[in-house]
Chain A
Amino acid sequence: MNREKGMTTPNTQQVIRVEDLVIEFPGEDAPSRVVDGVSLTLDRGETLGVVGESGSGKTMLSLALMALVPKPGRVQSSRMELLGNDARALDESQWCRIRGRDVGMIFQNPMTGFNPVRTIGRQISQSLQRHAGMGFNEARERVISALRDVGIPSPEQRFNAYPHEMSGGQLQRAMIALAMINRPAVLLADEPTTALDATVQAQILELMRARVENCGLVLVTHDLGVAAQICDRIMVVRHGRIVEAGDCAEVLRAPQHEYTRALLEAAPRFTRRRLMQAPRVASTPPLLEGRNLRVSFPVGKRKLHAVDGVDLDIWPGETVALVGESGSGKSTTALGLMGVHPLQGGELRFAGDDVTHASGERLKRLRRDLQMVLQNPYGSLDPRWSVRRILTEPLHAHGVGSRASREARARELMDQVQLPAEALDRLPSSFSGGQRQRISIARALALSPRILIADEPVSALDVSIQAQIIRLLMDIQTRTGVAYMIISHDLALVHEIADRVIVLYLGRVVEQGTAQAVISAPQHPYTAALISAVPVVDDDGTRTRIVLGGEPPSPLKPPSGCPFHPRCPIARERCSEERPPLAKTPGGSLAACFYPGEVEVDLRLSDVAEA
């Protein structure tokens, strides 16, 4: 390819060489160093994982490689070479020619990475037209073939699609196509799969692994499991410094630094099982009993059945997990139980009382026993309210207690979620994501509910923080005997904490049973695929994986027969004609499949933690 002056065709394998990189931001007293003395190299065809928690400086590090560190930030290094040239000497106009041509970038959120008012095809071809000087027609050809390469179906039509017409997974594929279109020597990917479902994450990782042959990939992530999937080397960063670097398999097998060990400890894997408890089911009647629950929304003249006949029981003190991809109706089910979305059908009983159409005072009374924690700790606390006011809001709403007793309750709740009571006067902005989720949990516990629904309580948090929050939830359950319904797409987490699992697909239950049975021997191929999509750290590349094709179909036009059959690896003719009922399987769990138990999963259960 014809390179402009300033960048010669590299004759080395090495595409990046950085020594002693320092990034500073002016602070109130002293400048704060977000990256402090990091050195790294990257070869062609190699994948380097930069692993760290929020605030470790990993994103700044990747921005520095494209000279995109935002304004008051200062970047210094003793050496910074890109394709064998000194990158420090480049000015902004030269960088403009390099970005997108020699260095491609994949961002975390594909939804905001594209301009919403221009078609995908146009935005990708623009990069070709600008950097390679192609005409529109020639560029169009190339873009269509690139879209095909990243697995976007019917790329000729998708070329003219606007970003809002595509799903998150498709957009992330398009983003990869855009980043790769000029065959860059370096590809930077900042949390490329964090915003995606586990099943789609598995697809995207697979794709990235396949597409990097001729360039170097820097993968920035907080999830060691993701890094373990595709990286050759990893670099663990903390507070802007490298704490450990080396061969990926080596580091994961024998981490030297304590911090790496802690991260590894927190990473998803199917090992630790809770102590088997005596089954709490059957002996008593369920606390919450849902039969054939339905929630639908009008879409134009049609109805979208988000929850389509779900049976669901919660016994006192147990943990039920509701799992499925986004769009499977998990959250809608929860909001249906909470009375936010009215139930259009079925029957809901709480402690024997019919609460199907509860409203007004009855609904309010139900909420003293049935509470919910929302997914996003950044959005669910009013930024203008002090923690004290947040924690006492439910008490005020239900007219509980006196001023003094409410204050005492707030302190007690802070203690329960292990936050200092002195922090009661602070605003949510002084807390980290994990701390905010603690406050959110404390607020939901204020009325001492008997059931707590938690909608993806940890998915917005760093992996290491996730472990803390989960431990907290378990502690609280042990102390108060509250029952949980945990909504999650993370099967490793579910395996660790749940007593029973309910798997939803397109608003219907496809499998249900004890966590032990469902996860170690899934009967439905969809469950097997969800389990297989979890990026476990113990994966040395030999783990057999079931990567689902495509994404869930629209519930507006569900497929005929078994709704899962278009994506099912074992679908046969019968599956497209007849809908399988939820039936008892030999293992004891219920599954809606004609051929239960045919797909097996490789959990990579490691025995270490069993002791």
Chain B
Amino acid sequence: MSAPETLAIEPLQTHGLPPSRWSPRHWPTGLRLGAALGLALLCASALLPVVLSVDPMVTDLGRRLAAPGQQGFILGSDQLGRDILARILAGLSWSLAVAGTATALAALIGVVLGLLAADRPGLLRTLINQLVDMVLSFPGLVIAIVVIAVLGHGFWPLVLTLGVLSWPVFARVVYAEARSVLAQDYVLAARLLGTSRMRVLLGHVLPGLTPSLMVMLAFHFADMMIAESALSFLGVGAPLGTASLGNMLSESRQYLFVAPYMMLLPAAAIVLAVVAANLIGDGLAAADRRGRPSAHDGGDKT
């Protein structure tokens, strides 16, 4: 008798090839928009100053408070006759650099501590979780003022302040998600095979967190942009005189009615950058949801 047909091994399913869901072809519209906007801002802040060759710091009191398009200024000039377009571009690159570095720092601390807390029950976990609670209860602004007072104004003091105050967000999420991944059967299987803890964390747990991390990075970046501008606006961020979006807003207050564009233009730059980051975050979250194996994927048992 020929072998019963059911006993033939089932054909492989066509899906499940290595993931291509992060390739641009599968991006949702929001993600495309956000990525395009972000890229445009990044290129503008990096390339345009070279093309324009206008120094954002050069003052020209004879041509102060020019409206956009007048006296040779594309976007007008400020109270000291500096080119607003050049200042916005310079401010943008400053803000992007500060926010990017601070986000990376926060993510690094948060991921390491979150993973450790998830993997090591007992004293270490308790300590880390207590530390998270402690940092979360610090009043951010006061700390920022203290740090600036001690270290002085500048790029690194600002990055350190933002990063060190905001890592608990990452630690919390990484901790919770890592614990759920650690409870999966494939982690037990890896342990049974003799895989070391470090390999389990780096090989199984961290890749499992990547989608959430990417979403968090994008949103955190937006938060950092706003925080940087806010601190600079209050005078505890970028050094005075530096072309920074927050500083520009701060300086524009006295000229609000004479030259509203001094406030509106840098504000618009902040809004655009934050919207881009948020669009990317939302888009990544949507792509991740869409890319997850559907309910049909598991069999109809268990």
- Taking Cβ atoms with an 8 Å cutoff, the residues of A that contact B are 53-54, 59, 108, 191, 194-195, 222, 258-259, 261-263, 265-266, 338, 340, 363-364, 367-368, 371-372, 374, 376, 378-386, 393-394, 396-398, 418-420, 423, 425-435, 440, 443-444, 446-447, 460-462, 464, 467-468
Contacts and interface: CB of A to CB of B under 8 A. Distances in A.
B299 A430 contact: no
A265 B302 contact: no
Nearest to B302: A460
Interface residues of B, number: 38
Contact of A108 (B15, B196, B300): B300
Interface stretch (B26-34, B105-113, B184-192): B184-192
B13 interface: yes
Given A379-B185, A429-B15, A191 B300 contact: yes
B205 to A, nearest CB: 10
Interface of B: 4-7, 9-10, 12-19, 184-186, 188-196, 199, 203-204, 207-208, 293, 297-302
B15 A367 contact: no
A261 B4 contact: yes
A536 to B, nearest CB: 20
Contacts of B195: 393-394, 396-397
A222 B189 CA distance: 28
A59 B295 CA distance: 14
A378 B193 contact: no
A40 to B, nearest CB: 20
Given A265-B4, A393-B195, A397-B195, A384 B185 contact: no
B301 A430 contact: no
A464 B12 contact: no
Contacts of B194: 363-364, 367-368, 394, 397-398
Contacts of B191: 340
A440 B301 contact: no
Nearest to A59: B300
Could you say which of B6, B7, B207, B208 has the most chain A C-beta atoms within 10 Å of its C-beta? B6
A427 B14 CA distance: 11
B25 to A, nearest CB: 15
6 contacts: A53-B6, A382-B186, A420-B12, A432-B10, A444-B193, A447-B193
Nearest to A265: B4
A54 B299 contact: yes
Contact of B192 (A261, A340, A386, A434): A340
Contacts of B12: 420, 423, 426, 430-431, 435
B9 A468 contact: yes
Contacts of B298: 378
B9 A378 contact: no
B204 to A, nearest CB: 5
B189 A440 contact: yes
Contacts of A266: 6
A468 B192 contact: no
Contact of B4 (A195, A262, A423): A262
B297 A429 contact: yes
Nearest to B190: A393
Contact of A262 (B7, B199, B207, B300): B7
Contacts of B203: 393
A602 B65 CA distance: 101
B35 to A, nearest CB: 23
A143 B275 CA distance: 55
A440 B189 CA distance: 9
A53 B192 CA distance: 31
Contacts of A418: 9
Could you say which of B13, B199, B300 has the most chain A C-beta atoms within 10 Å of its C-beta? B300
A263 B6 contact: yes
A78 to B, nearest CB: 28
Given A368-B194, A394-B193, A374 B188 contact: yes
B301 A262 contact: no
B15 A430 contact: yes
The 10 A-B residue pairs with the shortest CB-CB distance in the complex, in nearest-first order = A430-B16, A262-B4, A379-B185, A429-B16, A380-B185, A262-B6, A394-B193, A397-B195, A367-B194, A433-B299
Given A396-B199, A430-B15, A447-B193, 5 more contacts: A54-B301, A266-B6, A397-B194, A430-B13, A433-B301
Nearest to B8: A468
B16 A382 contact: no
A265 to B, nearest CB: 6
A426 B17 contact: yes
A252 B149 CA distance: 87
B196 A367 contact: no
Given A384-B208, A429-B293, A432-B13, A378 B192 contact: no
Given A367-B194, A382-B186, A384-B207, A467 B301 contact: no
A500 B199 CA distance: 38
Nearest to B294: A429
A246 B9 CA distance: 28
Contacts of B190: 382, 393, 397
A425 B17 contact: yes
Nearest to A432: B10
Contacts of A222: 301
Given A54-B299, A262-B5, A368-B194, A379 B186 contact: yes
A460 B204 contact: no
Could you say which of B4, B191, B196 has the most chain A C-beta atoms within 10 Å of its C-beta? B4
Nearest to A53: B6
B5 A467 contact: no
Given A381-B186, A426-B16, A432-B13, A259 B5 contact: yes
Contact of A380 (B189, B293, B297): B189
A374 B301 contact: no
A47 B13 CA distance: 35
B188 A468 contact: no
A195 B299 CA distance: 13
A390 B201 CA distance: 15
Contact of B189 (A374, A423, A435, A468): A374
Contacts of A429: 13, 15-16, 293, 297
Contacts of B293: 383, 429
B193 A371 contact: yes
A63 to B, nearest CB: 12
A430 B12 CA distance: 6
A430 B189 contact: no
Contacts of A59: 300
A190 to B, nearest CB: 9
A258 B7 contact: no
Nearest to A395: B193
Contacts of B15: 429-430
Contacts of B184: 379
Nearest to A373: B189
A219 to B, nearest CB: 15
